[in-house]
Amino acid sequence: MESVPGTPPGTSTAAGSRVFLRVLVLAGLVACVEAPGADEAGGECTGKCDGAEVAPATLRNRLLANLIGQRETGTVLFGQQRFNVTGVDERGAQWLATAGAVDRSDARDTTGHHPAVFGFDAWDLAIKPATWAPTPAVHAEAARYTFTHGGIVTMDFHQRGCVADSFLAAGNEACLCKVANDDAFARSWLIDRGYAKVADAIEHHGLARIPIIVRPLHEHTGNWFWWGKPFWNCAAYVANPRVTGAAAYQRVFRTIVDYLRDERGLDNLLFAYSPDQLGEQDLEAAYLEGYPGDAYVDVLGIDLYYRGTPSFTAETARFGRYLATIARLASERGKAAALTEVGNTLIAAETTATTWFSRELLGLVQSSGIAYAMTWENREAKPNGFFLPYPAHPSASDLRTFAASAQTLFLDDARGLYAPTSAAYPVCDACPAEPVDGRWGWENERSCRVGSWCL
């Protein structure tokens, strides 16, 4: 979210029957995903199967294949940023997780269930002082908790700018164009002072063995971050730019993926592309304007926040058109689709119960073709300080209704995301840089690429 992320810092059980995630990847939809081994366990497999360690790349591939297949189930995994790291207590103040105690969440306190998706900021893992609470180690523990319970881990990075010590654009307007047009600067600042520390922290905290969906340079269609679209006119910031416009953004995105995936060899990572709102005209072109290419993206996402303008109903209709476009593009390109962030910015003003979760959000995501939807974190009871009802909030009952829906999956329901897929796919003959005859392996069974990874 543009205004709140990265800032330092009576349980009732949901009614109704719970629906378990169906692992459904249709034959012919995704190919070249590792077939089940004879000695491997089935749907409950996460990090180990029958005592045998499963390679991070294998878990990554299974997760992606199952997220792609999720579109056939009509269900959506629900998540929250830092759900078991921070929340709002009964006084409206912030509670924080500590080492060895990452099993609390406002969602579980309210509904009886943890979210199925855990998001966190790489800044909290790799950049902030190690003594700041919650510590980087606690964030890593929270991520591992989610994975070991079968859920999904995602990571954004609100990297501070190259001039002002802020991820916001003010004072940092030239940063993206400088990185895109100066390889030495890209290395010394973007990589060495940023993503190298992230890679080091992933390895140091034992997160290189669990799949993580990384969202580089998110919400780029907005004007709040230094990487945003208003700052892509590189002629305004550097002399004689070699790239400008969308090509500048794409170059920086690819630099990040190339470093993490290829140079550092972090084969547990998937990569998500997640702009903000798109307007109303030519949604496909608007969505793909900064797209770095199929070889660099596994998950097609978008970040959408409700502001009640002109109404929640109108926003749900508009956002539904966005998700329909993204789900179609994901299907055409062999990607997973996700609502990488979503929230109600007016939740703090609610004094009586509303139905935003059970009407707007559920209506938006059900049968949308997206694999998961994640809302932002809870910190304290003030505007933009929380996005999920805590037990004392007037809309807590509405969250329980949302959680009880057969279309929503919480952590208890996340079964089989890291299990082998049901189809035995063919072995790839080659992994070329470009698809054979313009098609990847799930279409011709020869040149194989699922998302950004050649298998």
**DSSP classification of residue 449:** E
d(CA 205, CA 25) in angstroms, rounded, equals: 32
Q: Does 281 map to a domain?
A: yes
Q: What is the pLDDT of residue 420?
A: 78
Residues pairing with 215 in the sheet: 156
Residue found under tokens 């072109």: 285
Q: In this structure, are residues 5 and 399 in contact, taking their beta carbons and an 8 Å threshold?
A: no
Query: What is the pTM (predicted TM-score) of this model?
Result: 0.86
Distances (CA, A) of 199 to 93, 99, 193, 259, 361: 33, 22, 11, 9, 34
CATH of the domain at 272: 3.20.20.80
Q: What pLDDT score was predicted for residue 195?
A: 98
The pLDDT value recorded for residue 367 is: 87
Residue 442 lies in a domain: no
Q: In 3D, which of 218, 217, 204, 176 has the Cα closest to residue 264?
A: 204
Is 27 part of a structural domain of the chain?
A: no
* Token digits of residue 351: 């004094």
Question: What is the residue range of 153's domain?
Answer: 48-421
Apex 199 CA angle, 248 and 104, nearest 5: 110
Under 8 Å between Cβ of 377 and 82: yes
Is residue 388 included in any domain, yes or no? yes
Rg (CA), the chain: 21
CB 119 within 8 A of CB 192: no
Residue 336 Cα to chain centre, angstroms: 11
Per-residue pLDDT of the chain (455 residues; tens, 9 = 90+): 644 433 333 333 333 333 333 333 332 233 233 333 333 333 444 444 433 578 898 899 889 989 998 888 899 999 999 999 999 999 999 999 999 999 999 999 999 999 999 999 999 999 999 999 999 999 999 999 999 999 999 999 999 999 999 999 999 999 999 999 999 999 999 999 999 999 999 999 999 999 999 999 999 999 999 999 999 999 999 999 999 999 999 999 999 999 999 999 999 999 999 999 998 889 999 999 999 999 999 999 999 999 999 999 999 999 999 999 999 999 998 899 999 999 999 999 999 999 999 999 999 999 899 999 999 999 999 999 999 999 999 999 999 999 999 999 999 999 889 987 653 333 344 555 565 555 544 433 444 444 555 54
> In this predicted model, what pLDDT tens digit does every residue of 329-373 receive, in sequence order?
999 988 999 999 999 999 999 999 999 999 999 999 998 999 999
Which pLDDT score is estimated for 441? 45
Do the domain assignments include residue 22?
Answer: no
- Give the separation between CA 404 and CA 453, rounded to whole angstroms: 36
Q: Which residues pair with 299 in a beta bridge?
A: 272, 336
H/E segment holding residue 97: none
What stretches of 100-161 show up as alpha helix (H) in DSSP?
106-111, 122, 136-148
Strands 449-450 and 453-454: antiparallel
| Number of folded domains that form the chain | 1
pLDDT digits (tens, 9 = 90+) for 292-338: 999 999 999 999 999 999 999 999 999 999 999 999 999 998 899 99
Residue 427 falls within a domain, yes or no?
A: no
Query: Is the four-CA dihedral 250, 252, 173, 156 of positive or negative sign?
Result: positive
Q: Which two tokens stand for residue 424?
A: 């035995």
Residue 411 is encoded by which pair of tokens? 């952590």
Give, rounded to a whole angstrom, the gap between the first and last alpha carbons of the chain: 33
pLDDT of residue 99: 97
The answer to whether position 2 is within a domain reads: no
How many helices (H) and strands (E) are present in the chain, helices listed first?
A: 13, 15
Decide if 42 contacts 342 (C-beta within 8 A): no
Give 140's DSSP letter: H
Q: Is residue 381 part of a domain?
A: yes
Residues written for the chain: 455
pLDDT value of position 438: 57
